[in-house]
Every structure is written in C-alpha cells, then in structure tokens.
A and B are shown apart, each in its own frame.
Chain A
Amino acid sequence: MSTEADRTSADRASVDRTERLRMRRYRRASIATVLALALMAGVLGAAAVLRGPHLDSAAINAATAIQRPGQRLVLQPDQPIEPITEADVSVTPETPFEVGVDEAGVTLTFTGMLRYGTDYSVRVSGVQGSSTGLPGSLSYDFSTPDATVHTLLRRGGAAAGPDKPADQVLASGLTVSSGAGTEVIFEAPRIQQFAVAGDVTVAIVLDEEGAGSLALKVGDSAVEGVHTSVGARLQNLRSSPSAGLFGVSVSGGADASGREYQNALFVFDPEVGSGRAEEVLGFGGEPLRVVDWRFVPGTSSIVAQGVDQQLYLLDPLAGGEPAALGRHAEIRGFLPGGVTLVVADPSGVSSIDLSTGDVAPMPLAEATVDPELYPGTIVALPDGGSVRRYDEIDYSSAQAVQSSVILVADASGTRELYRSSVPGSRVRTFCLSPNGQYLAVETIASGSLSDGYALPGYSDMTTSFVDLASGAVTRSVPGFLPDWCT
C-alpha cells in the first residue's frame, strides 16, 4: 500500500518536474522570441533610417512624350530630399530638360520631344535626404514606343481594267524589329489620297471614270461613304489625329442654294452621327476659297491660305471669325513639336508663332553644293538649319539618268544625309517626322512609270526612314505619301 502511494507520489513529482521544465522552456522561448523580434525590428529599422533616398516610383507618359514637347517625368523618392540642380541629373541618350524638386518629387520637363523606340536612362546623383541628411541616388529607365507611319501603295495604273489589284493603305513601324512588318489597314480599287486619325482611315477613292468620293473605315469595320457634293473634285485630304477631325478641299458640285463650290474647305468628325462634312466659312460667314491648308498640330484649328494668298487661322469646332495672319506666298509646314508655322515669300522664309501671332524672319542655312545640282524640296529645321533635296542628271549615256541626294545644312556646315542607292532611282519628296527625328523619303525606282492618277504616283515607290542625326536608314516600306507629309 505504502509502496503504491510512494510510486504515485514519485510519478506526480516526476510529472511536476517535467511540467516545470516545460514551463521554464516556454518562458525562455517567449523571452528569446521577444528579444529576437525586438533585435530584428531594431536592426531593420536602423538600416531603413540610415539608408539614403532612393527611387520609390516614377511616372511618364512615353506615348505623349514622342508627340509633343514639355512632357514630364516625375521621380518620387522614398523620402523628402534637398533641392537638386540640372547638373545632378543625366539623361541618356542626351536630350534637353529642365528640373525641379517639390512635394511630388523630382520633376524633369523635357523641353523637346523624345525619340521614337528609344531606351532612356535617367540618373540623379548627389541626392540628399532632407530629414536624414544621408546621400543617395535615383535611377530610372524607360522606353518610348515606336511610331506608326502610313503609306499608300498604288498597284497597277489608274486606267487598268477590272483585274487591277486594289490599292492599299499600309501601316508600318519605323524599324523592322519594333513591329511585325507592314499591315494593310484600308483597301479600295483606286485610292487617290488618304488620312488617318487614331483607328479611323479616310480615303479619296476613285471610280473607273475617275470621279472621287470619300470612304471611311473605323478599325476593322466595313467601309462607309462620307456624304460630299455630287460631281465634286476632292483633294488635299488631311487629318488632325489629336482632334479626330478630317478635312478636304472641294471644287465643283453645288450647295442647296445652287452655289458652286470653288476650292471650298470641308471638315468632318467621324464621331458625329450625321456623317456629313461641314463647310468652313470665312469672314461674315462667307465661303472661304483655299489654295492650301493645314491642321495646327495637336489642335482642331486650321491654317488656310486663300486664293488671295491671305493666311487665316480658324477653328471649325469653336466657330467664330477667322484671324488673319497676313499674306504669304507659300505654306511650308510646321516646325516639329510646336505651333510655329513656316511660310515662304520671294523675300525669304518666315516663321509665325500661332500661339502669339509673332512673325519673324527665318534665315535658313544654305548648303554648299555643286552648282550643277538642281535644288528641290526644302524643309526648315528648328535650329535654323535646313534639309534639301538636290537632283543630279547624268547626260553621259544615251538616256539621261536622274538621281537625288539630300543634304543637311546647319551651323556646322553641309553634310550628305541620303543618296538614292540604286542608279536611276530618285527622291520624289521628303518630310520630317512630327518629333523631328526622322526623314520620310519617297523614292521612285529606276524606270518607274507614272500611274496616271490625278495626284500622280509611280510604280514601285518606296518610303525610307532616315535618322536625321546619323543618316542611317532604319527601314524602307512600300508606298508613298507617308502621313507625316500630309
């Protein structure tokens, strides 16, 4: 009996001892866990505090930055920082910018437009935390998208019979690697001219007799007609991609009162349900007769040149009276990235800043060339330089062979930018990309024949994209009339 009691007592003592040991282990583990967590929090906290500023987030609209200047890159550091200067910031490839520091972070404002399809690298060194005083740096890499250029591929002559293959509007990237080649976005038996805004393509299409009408296609939907005056001649089709507007000049046909259209300008918005093009009117609601016109880049406004050479600035959406910009012989186009219009007169070239109305002479650098070269199309550059086509005719053989060269003239002198590589091929015309980075050069192959359209083209035409800085041809695509040039 006593033995059993002793055993029970011993068992209980053993259980108590085990429990005490486990309790001690639990307490030790608790203390160790708390100490370990406290130590970890202390070390991590100290490391976080003693770390200098670094990039928390960054924001830029790269698609807009290739279309217009003044776009911003905001770098948000993970802690407030002391002001920095432009000397602390580097951007590769080199591009002009202004820098500011505020509550939102470091803001880089790109004063020009960025290059298409380019990898940019931004480094801000010498950054100092305003609360910690610790040094750090901010780094951010981003890429700009490639541009899409549309060209018109005419196949067979205008007079070809029913077996004539359809003409096509093609969309192509600037480099082969950036896109999957070339895509057909619009087809019709005879396309005289086209314009694109977003996913809307509008074309002047011709019937077998050569009469023109407007056809519209939105995305992948079916082609629809745009109501225009019967029997009218349509030309100078252009678009404003930012406003989604299209415009075309009309001659022939008459309005409801029987008034005949003579170089009348019509605009239309595909989004508007009526599907009708509206006539643009001049002073006092009188018809405006235009010999040339352009959409002002990035707006719905129009610059139109009347038959008396007077230039007008008007907005068909806002309405109101046009603003007269003075008489000039020729509209040369807009300088890349802004609303500065280049006009030419017998006395020289001038620029008109449409935001202020200021007119200033624009002396262009002249290329030093062989006097036997024939000067052709000239395009002004924002820095006062110029790009010009020169034709060369070789009479040494029985049949004269024409070729072309494009030269850049600027403060540093004259340099050759592009030369037709195949003997006998020549440049029809060229224009600058909207960001001023590339030239789109229309080339006519040797032995090409005119296609017989009212706006003539040639068989086997190609458009090449030439980097203005290096002269490198990034790509050549079929077709002509690239939308940069219209």
Chain B
Amino acid sequence: MLAAVLLTLRIVSSGWDTAVIPDRLSDFVTLSISVVIESLPFVFLGILLSVVVRFWVPDTVIHRLLPRRRVLRRAALSLLGVLLPVCECGNVPLARGLMMKGLSVPEAMTFLLAAPILNPVTIVTTYQAFGWDDGILVGRIVGGFVIANLVGWLFSLHPRPDDLLTPGFSAACKHEAAHAGHSHAAAGAGARRGLAGVFSPAGRAAQKVKLRGAVVAFSEETSAMLPALVVGSAIAGAIQVGLSRDILLALGSNPIWSVLALMILAFVIAICSNVDAFFILSFGGTFLPGGIVAFLVFGAMLDIKMVTLLRTTFTTATLVRLLIVVGLASLALGFGVNLLA
C-alpha cells in the first residue's frame, strides 16, 4: 500500500517543478522507491524458496543428514540456511518446529542466528550490493557463522536447556515429543505407499491441500515481508534526506560511531536479511565497512521484531543473554573490520 502510494507520488510528481514538490520530498520518494525496486525480486525469490522447502522437503531428510557430534551438528545446522533460505522472521516458526521435532535448544538457536545470513539469497544480495569490497561479504559470512556457533556452544553448557524456553513452549515441546511415536508410524505408512500413494486419489487430494497451503503461505509471507520492506525503505530514505550529510559523515567516518550507529539502526528498523544489503548500500559511501558488516550481522540476527517474536519461545533472561553476546560479538567484528579494511 505504502509502496503504491510512493510510486504514485513519484510518477505524479515527475512533472512538477520544485515549487509544487520540495526537493527533499522528491529525494525521499526517489531514494525510498529505489530501495524497494532493488530488493523486490530477491524478496519474492526468498519467499518462493522458503515455501517450497517448507511444503516439499520432508523433515526426516534434515534429521538424517545431521552429524552426531554436537559441535559438528551445530556447525551443520548453521549452514542449514542454504537449504532453508528464509528471512530471520520466517526462521522463528521454523526453529520452533525444529525444536518440537527434537532439535535441542542450542541447536535451534544456532540455526536461528546463522540461517538468515548463511543462505543463498542473503549471500547473493550482499554480493550484488558490495561484491568483494572491503571484506563486507566475507565479514558477514564468517562473522555470522562464528557468532551463531559461539551462542550455540554457550547455551549448550546449560544443564537444563528447557529452562531457556518459556514454560508454555516447553510444555508444547514435551507434548509433541510424547506424540512423536504416532507421527513416525504414520510417516512410515506414508513412505510405504510410495509413488503409488502420490498418484492415488487420496495422494492427489493431499497434494492439492499442500499446494493450497503453499499458496496461502506464499501470500502470508508476502504480506509479512512487503510492509517491512517498504517501511524500512521509507526509513532509509527519510534518514538520508532528513539527517544532514555532515552528521552522517561524522558518524560514518568514525571507527566507533560507525559501528554503534548502524547496529542501533539495524535493531530499530528490523529489515529482512534478504534485502538489508540493498538498504545499507546507500550508506556504503558514508559509513566505514565495519559499521556495514556490524549492521548486516547484528540486524540479521536480532532486531526489535525478532526479539518480539523470540519472546514467544525463550525466556526474558535468555533473550537478554543472547542480546548481550550477539551485540558484543557484532561490535568486536565491526571494530575488527574497521581496523583491517
């Protein structure tokens, strides 16, 4: 809706002179729309892939492929985003589902933090935006992997991982585990039916239901993503137009403030990791690369929207601890990149 308004405003305003539409408003609309237009194809690609994975990749495939050693298992899970390339907000329900299917809390946490960064859509968009310049892409990939596994390792030391979860969700997990035997039996029967089952009337009906569900999921994901994208783009445009260039330059060229300012911005604007590289690209000439990397790593792992979503699953103490560790690690990463770049 907001995108339509901005687009209409831009088309209508193209014939106006500066007396009718101030330069700043014109700049704001142009900058905002440019971010939306750049990001849109990748958002749809991400949504499409996430829907395909959710509806047509069996859960058992994931479990069977994971290593048994906990460190390797977490490392593998942090790369699962390659197969499940969804944005961080889409990862929360996915991680909840994985925990219900028996994944431990630290493992789910590792996946939750790494998948928004270590997935093909995010990597491609980051490459499109920055290429190999200043180690931004490498910093994001390596930083995301290391931080996610550090958090996973830390929470794996907890003697009662269920205490990290809210009581309600913990109970739901236990309930799901109790009914797992029934599910496995049903899954086994389905597997035995094989292809014949797919082409049977019942199989065809199930496929229809699945397809309908996928369409609904696609539309839901689109409805969830696009407003966030448009609002994020509008904020980006407003910041660039509203904040004086001197302030931006002063913040962006300082090795400390460039990191802090962009981490705060990432936390506040809560933009999807699939498109955040395009959003921050417009700040690339003003801010030091360390700030950009910190934005791309911290914002993809935690932001206001994510914390709200995570509160449905994890206790406040867990989230505070998570926020501190991820925040400090991102800070160190940003400072390190500023030092080396």
Contact = CB atoms under 8 A, between A and B. Distances in A.
Contact of A41 (B134, B249, B250, B328): B328
B325 A33 contact: yes
B85 interface: no
A30 B329 contact: no
A56 B336 CA distance: 15
B286 to A, nearest CB: 10
Interface in B138-182: 150, 154, 157-160
A393 interface: no
A94 interface: no
Interface string A348-382: 00000000000000000000000000000000000
B256 A19 contact: no
- By secondary structure, the B interface counts as helix
A48 B339 contact: yes
A30 B256 contact: no
B255 A48 contact: yes
- Of A56, A78, A80, most buried by chain B (CB within 10 Å of CB) is A78
Given A34-B324, A37-B328, A49 B256 contact: yes
A45 B256 contact: yes
Given A48-B335, A79-B253, A37 B325 contact: yes
- By secondary structure, the A interface counts as helix
A79 B287 CA distance: 10
A12 interface: no
A55 to B, nearest CB: 11
Interface in A59-96: 78-80
Contacts of B321: 30
- Of B150, B158, B250, B253, most buried by chain A (CB within 10 Å of CB) is B253
Interface string A16-55: 0011001101100110011001101100110111010000
B157 A26 contact: yes
B330 to A, nearest CB: 9
Interface residues of A, number: 26
Interface in B226-271: 245, 249-250, 253-256, 259
B331 interface: yes
Contacts of B254: 49, 79, 131
A103 B325 CA distance: 36
B249 A48 contact: no
Contacts of A30: 154, 321, 325
Nearest to A76: B285
Interface residues of B, number: 29
Nearest to B246: A103
Contacts of A34: 324-325, 328
A40 B256 CA distance: 13
Contact of A78 (B158, B249, B253, B335): B253
A208 B329 CA distance: 81
B331 A103 contact: no
B319 to A, nearest CB: 14
A37 B146 CA distance: 13
B175 to A, nearest CB: 24
B328 A38 contact: yes
B290 A48 contact: yes
Contacts of B324: 34
Contacts of A25: 157
B33 interface: no
Nearest to B260: A45
A33 B255 contact: no
A168 to B, nearest CB: 41
B331 A19 contact: no
B325 A44 contact: no
Nearest to A78: B288
Given A26-B154, A37-B325, 8 more contacts: A22-B157, A22-B158, A26-B158, A30-B154, A37-B328, A45-B255, A48-B256, A80-B253
10 contacts: A29-B157, A33-B325, A37-B328, A37-B329, A37-B331, A49-B254, A49-B256, A78-B255, A80-B249, A80-B253
